[in-house]
Each structure stands twice: as C-alpha cells, then as structure tokens.
Amino acid sequence: MTTTTPRPVAAEREPGDPRLDADSRVDVEHLAHVLLGHYPELRLAARRLMGDERFHRVDGLPMDEHRERVLGQLRVLATEGDVHRSFPTRFGGADDHGGFLARFEELTHADPSLQIKSGVQWGLFASAIFHLGSERNHDDFLAGALTLDVPGAFAMTEIGHGSDVASIGTTATYDPDTEEFVLHTPFRAAWKDYLGNAAKHGQAAVVFARLITARKGEQRVDHGVHAFYCPIRDPRTLELLPGVSSEDDGLKGGLNGIDNGRLAFDHVRVPRTNLLNRYGDVEPDGTYTSPIASPGRRFFTMLGTLVQGRVSLDGAAVTAARVGLTIAITYGNQRRQFAGAGLDEVVLMDYGQHQRRLLPLLAETYAAGFAHEDLLAAFDDVFSGRNDTPETREDLETLAAALKPTSTWHALTTLQTAREACGGAGFMAENRLTQLRADLDVYVTFEGDNTVLYQLVGKRLLTDYAKSFQGLDAVKVARLVAERAADAARYRTPLGRAIQTITDVGDVRRSAGALRETATQRALLVDRVETMVAEVAQALRPAQKADPATAWALFNAHQHELVEAARAHAELVQWESFTAALARVEDSGTQQVLTWLRDLFGLTLVERHLDWYLLNGRLSAGRARTVTSYIDRLLTRLRPHAQDLVDAFGYGPEHLRAPIASGVEQQRQDEARAWFKAQRASGDAPVPEKRAR
C-alpha cells in the first residue's frame, strides 16, 4: 500500500548516514498492511469512501448547517457505507460485528461528528433494538432504524445520574387494562440529556426506564432498568408527539454536527410490545418473566450487550492520534528553524526536545493500535457467538473498560502536543488539530466516564485477586500473604537495589542491556500491577466485616490507588499487545525498528512511574538514571524512521486535509534556502553588523 502524501526531503538519509542503520529500514508497505489489522480490505474500502469530499467536515459552518450536512452524509452512508454489516443477513447485514466496527472507526478521518452520529443511529439505537429485543421487536422496528427511515435517539443518560444508570428516575409503569406502558419523567433531574438526534432529527428513541408492574390487587414491583421503543416525533411534520418534551443542548465544545438534546415524558403511553424483551417480558395480565433470575445480573447483562460503543471509541481515539502525529511529524520533517552547525536552518524533528515530545507519543499510539486490534478480535469472538460465555463477556467488558480511557486520554494529549509542535500553524483551523482535539474531548466522558471505567477495572482486578485465594485453607492463605509481604519488604530494603548496583557497576551498557530485554520490561510492568492490586486488596480487607458506612468510607479512601492500579493494568495490556504484534512483522528491518519503538513505549512507562519504582525498591538509582539515558538513545535510533512510521498509517492528503502536511511547507523551505544561497553566491549579500565593524 502506498500513500500520496509527499515525503519530506529531511526524512530521506543518504547511505552511510550514521543515523540510518542499513539493516533497520522500514518496509512501509508491509508495516501498513500489519497496521490494518484483522480487517484490511474493509478498512481500506471505508478509507476510500471517507476520501470522498462529500463526507468531509467544512470548517466554519454554522451549527444548524453543520447538523444538516451530517444528516445528509448519514443518508449517503445508509446506501453506500455498508452500515448494516453487524446485523442479520435478513436485514441486509453480514453478521460481521468486528468488521462493522473496523469500518465505523474510519469515519473519524472525515468528521468525528459523522462518526458519532452514525454511532448513535446504528451503534446505539439500532443495536439496542437488535441486542435487547426479540424477533418481534426486530420485525417491528429494526428495518426503519437501519435504513434511516427512522432516525433514532438512545435515551439512557439522565441529568441527575450520569454513569449511574441503575439509579435513573424515569419509570415505565404497566397498565394491564390497556396493555400499555406509561413512560414518565417524575422530576427535572430525570430528564434524559446529551442525546444525539434528540434535539431535532430523531423520530423515535430507545428509552431506558424502571419497569414497574402490578397485577390487580397486588403490590407494585420495580424490576429495574429496561429498554422501550418510543416514538417521539411525527414522521411527516417532525413535531413532538403528545407528552414528549425536548430541549436543544445548543452549541458544544465540539461535535456540533450532532443535534444533542434532552427528552422528557409526561405519561407517554406505548404498547406492551414496545418493550425490548430479550431479557425481560410482561404478559398481558402484568406478570413479569425473565430468563435471568437475578435483577443485578440481568441489568449488567443488558448493559454488556452495548459494549461496542466503548470498543469503537477506543479505535476512533487511535485514529485521531495517528492523524495528529502524521500531521505533526510530517511538518516537523519539513519546517526549519534556527541555524545549526552549518549555514542551513535545522528541521524541527532534528531537535532532541522535539523528538522527546513526539516519538514517545508515536510509540504509545502504536501500542494503543495493536491493543485495539486485540480488543476488536475479542469483541468479534463474543458477539459472533464463537466464544460467547459469561466469562468471555466479562473479560471483554473489562478489556474495553481498560483500553477506552487509556486511548481517549492519550488522544487528547497527543493532539495537544501535536498542535504545540506545529507552532502557530497548528492553531490554524485549516490544519485540523484544534478541531480534532475539541471533537475528541467528550470521548473521555461518554460511553462511560473514564475514571468510572477504571474503577470497574480495578474492582475486577480485586475480584481476580480474591479468587487466587479460593480453594486454599487458612494456613496456606496466611502463608501466601506472608510471602507477598516478605517479597514487598525485600524490595523496599537496600538489598534489591544493591544487587542491581553490583550487577551494573563499571558498565552502563549492562544496565541498558537489562532494561531493553523483553523479560525485564515485562517483569517491571507486571510487578507494578500485582503489587498495587495486592496493596489495595489488603487495605480493603476490613471492609468485608464492616458496616456499610464504614466500608464505603474505607473504599473511598483508597479509590485513587484502585484507579491507578487499573491504569497500570491497561498500560501493561497495551505493552503486551505491542510485544505480541512484533511476531507478525515479517520484514527483519521493520521488526528491528518496531522493537526499538516497543522498548521506547515500555521504558517511557517506567520513566513515567519512576517514583514508584524507586520508592518500592524495584530500581536502583543508577538503573533509574539509565532508563532516561537509554530512552534518549532510542530516540536517536528512531529519529530517521519517524516519517516511515507515520506514513505506514496509510493516510493520503484526502484524509489528512492539513496544508502543513501536504508538501507546501517543503516548497516554502526550499524556496527560502535557494534564495539565501543565491544571495550569498552573488556576493551582493549585505554584511552582518558584527562583521562590518
């Protein structure tokens, strides 16, 4: 695969250049194929479609015009974009869940508003009908959602509860006399908010509400949160239906091509058959039935079917980071600033600090991309039915909850750094970096607030830690706890540090050699996760026998440590995915460069948490210093390959649409250098003041 982006002169080194090892050249075409992952043809097809200017964001459009443009793009996608891919063949799909998301992520190149609005329509509204509904619901509602004949909203989030879906206030009370559910918003904080398609375009919504039943003469029973299909606007006039209220969220910090809004319901009646009843149903007389007896298990099973939103945001964040780095590194390989040892000004990428800012982010973006492909494979395994068990679903949900926060926060950091690295040019709207960051900003708080998701991961880590003690008698448990405590104590004494110092003495290369070993990096990253989880688990042990208030206070006191343990786990997952991906690279030179890039990622993680490794005795002061010095060495090795590594992302000018990454800057620099060279050669150049004295 080749790109049409002009390659900067500065990235091409002459044979014999000491900064370019002949045995470690990057085969860009091969690497590009590796990066396309499990669905190369689907990704390339979607990328070609997104190269069509019909789908491109037009900067400066007023909000209303932007919304209408994105709706029009959505209608084109409905006919040309293979958006039904994850749905059954009888609805024009291919039962291909992983391929659906792979194509969906590519929409980010065109306009994140298009990606998210299509996610609302097909990834949330239509998918909720499909995954939470029965064949009856599919027959009644799915066709309209898939063809976009019925634009829809996904009405889950409420103003007053946010991520706490189990505590929402909206109710759906069954009336056996009319065989209808009565949807009602009992107070202002129960309004549904931040809903795509709610302000203007939506004609129906999947509404999440507390299902309440009461057979005649019996007590009312709250069966917890369920989903209901509810028309909200007249399809001909687009006027709100009786009892439905809507407010426009208005101008946002980004994603203004989406008509986000609020919805409320004043005793709105829908037929009994509008309950999406795969996991719970109500008979005409009001009898409630469910294939899952436990209300808690039922709730989490229903939410688990919607995990694809988090999976897709992880992929979209990787895409945005790749775009930002391609723009910044391409510009950095062309833009010159300040004279170096010779007369020529120096390209930005040759400055050590510029490399320090961008190349570790490039390494992390590669790690995030490989981890996303593993997440996509796990998602497809579960949703295709090939490996769908309660355990694999739980694993998938935990993996998505770990990676989505990590990649979305990384995308924001990357886009901001890329903007700064491009100076004033990066602030120009035409170069996309500021708008991309604005659009990606909300990714860290929707489809699960990032901190809340890390907390879910932390709780799963604690559960797995507790399971490691199951089946052991009291004596063995005590022995295991004592061994782990002794191990921690050993690291915190001078002994462990002294061993490293003795091993490394007299030869810095020994220290660096240890750090670049895959086994050493893995041991450092794994040890940090295991130690952090064990410490939190031990700190929370008294909560098991405490009253609820004391237990909550104890958990709250250690919430930060739990979240940090989850973050460390997510970083380890990304490193492991990067390491596993090295084996899929067949070209030896490319594999060598990627190994350096993996080492840069792993050691950047160690450097980022160097205080922990020092305080816990995992690294001596000498080896800790070597971490930073070896990172600097890796930056020097990787510098000549920076352009190849972003070219392998496979973006052409039609995807980047940033003039500073188009080759224009190279032309300007060449013109300036030619002018100064000619002036010096003419002998007519003015004499600098210092020389004139």
- Tens digits of residue pLDDT in 316-371: 999 999 999 999 999 999 998 887 666 678 999 999 999 999 999 999 999 999 99
Q: What is the DSSP string of 112-123?
A: HHHHHHHIIIII
Region 231-240 average pLDDT: 96
Q: Tell me which of 487-491, 494-498, 637-641 is least confident.
A: 494-498
- Same-domain check for residues 257 and 339: no
Region 264-281 average pLDDT: 97
Conformational region of residue 349, where left means phi above 0, alpha means psi within -120 to 50, and beta covers everything else? alpha
- Tens digits of residue pLDDT in 82-95: 899 999 998 889 99
Tell the residue number behind the tokens 């191990």, with chain if given: 487
Does residue 265 lie within any of the structural domains?
yes
Question: Of 274, 304, 334, which closes a domain?
Answer: 304
More confident residue, 234 or 470: 234
- Same-domain check for residues 255 and 323: no
pLDDT score for 672: 85
At residue 521, does pLDDT exceed 90? yes
SS3 string, 490-526, reads: HHHCHHHHHHHHHHHCCCHHHHHHHHHCHHHHHHHHH
Does residue 134 lie within any of the structural domains?
no
Does residue 647 lie within any of the structural domains?
yes
Does residue 403 lie within any of the structural domains?
yes
- Same-domain check for residues 263 and 336: no
Question: Of 272, 304, 336, which closes a domain?
Answer: 304
pLDDT score for 198: 97
| Secondary structure class of 223 (helix, strand, coil) | strand
Does residue 620 lie within any of the structural domains?
yes
Question: What global pTM score does this model have?
Answer: 0.91
Confidence bin at 504 (pLDDT 50/70/90): very low
- Tens digits of residue pLDDT in 377-434: 999 999 999 999 989 999 999 999 999 999 999 999 999 999 999 999 999 999 999 9
CB 182 within 8 A of CB 227: no
- Same-domain check for residues 287 and 351: no
- Tens digits of residue pLDDT in 445-463: 988 899 999 999 999 999 9
pLDDT score for 684: 81
- Same-domain check for residues 260 and 295: yes
Counting residues of the chain whose pLDDT is more than 90, the rounded percentage is: 76
Long-range contacts of 21-26 (CB under 8 A, 24+ apart): 21/592, 21/637, 23/588, 23/589, 23/592, 24/589, 24/592, 24/593, 24/596, 24/637, 24/641, 25/589, 25/590, 25/593, 25/641, 25/644, 26/589, 26/590, 26/593, 26/641, 26/644, 26/645, 26/648
- Same-domain check for residues 412 and 523: yes
Region 592-599 average pLDDT: 97
- Tens digits of residue pLDDT in 645-665: 999 999 999 999 999 999 888
CB atoms within 10 A of CB 668: 14
pLDDT score for 21: 55
At residue 482, does pLDDT exceed 80? no
Residue 272 belongs to a domain with what CATH number? 2.40.110.10
pLDDT score for 10: 37
Domain that holds residue 420: 1-20+308-468+508-679
Relative to beta strand 180-184, strand 268-271 is antiparallel
- Same-domain check for residues 364 and 333: yes
At residue 309, does pLDDT exceed 60? yes
- Same-domain check for residues 202 and 258: yes
More confident residue, 593 or 690: 593
Does residue 672 lie within any of the structural domains?
yes
pLDDT score for 621: 87
- Same-domain check for residues 263 and 341: no
Averaged confidence pLDDT in the chain:
89
Does residue 102 lie within any of the structural domains?
no
Size of the chain in residues: 693
Residue 316 belongs to a domain with what CATH number? 1.20.140.10
pLDDT score for 472: 60
- Same-domain check for residues 174 and 194: yes
At residue 680, does pLDDT exceed 60? yes
Counting residues of the chain whose pLDDT is more than 70, the rounded percentage is: 89
Does residue 555 lie within any of the structural domains?
yes
pLDDT score for 75: 96
At residue 3, does pLDDT exceed 50? no
At residue 582, does pLDDT exceed 80? yes
- Tens digits of residue pLDDT in 138-157: 999 999 999 999 999 999 99
CB 141 within 8 A of CB 149: no
- Same-domain check for residues 512 and 365: yes
- Tens digits of residue pLDDT in 66-120: 999 999 999 999 999 889 999 999 888 999 999 999 999 999 989 999 999 999 9
Question: Of 271, 304, 337, which closes a domain?
Answer: 304
Number of domains in the chain: 2
pLDDT score for 473: 59
Confidence bin at 517 (pLDDT 50/70/90): very high
- Same-domain check for residues 371 and 319: yes
